[in-house]
Amino acid sequence: MPHPYAGKTVEEILEDKKASIRTPPLDPGSPSWDDILYLTWEEIDKRARRREIGFRTFRKLLTDGRFNK
């Protein structure tokens, strides 16, 4: 079964999230939210699996139910 965010960009995912998702601190050396807006969910997940700086945090925040509207 595909992930609910499959095929969506970060910008599209954030439309269904609270603005407070952007407040937790990001890892040093991590890209900003603005830098990843046009990446797809698949790209975020792939980079998180490769342990690129910051992408595990982005994946965790995007899937955290506390930030759902």
Confidence of residue 33 (pLDDT cuts 50, 70, 90): very high
Enter the pTM of the model.
0.92
Confidence of residue 23 (pLDDT cuts 50, 70, 90): very high
- What's the rounded Cα separation, in Å, for the pair 29 and 15? 25
Mean pLDDT of the chain: 96
Sequence spans of domains, the chain? 10-21+30-67
Cβ proximity of 51 and 57 under 8 Å: no
Confidence of residue 1 (pLDDT cuts 50, 70, 90): confident
Half-sphere exposure of 36 (CA within 13 A, CB side): 27
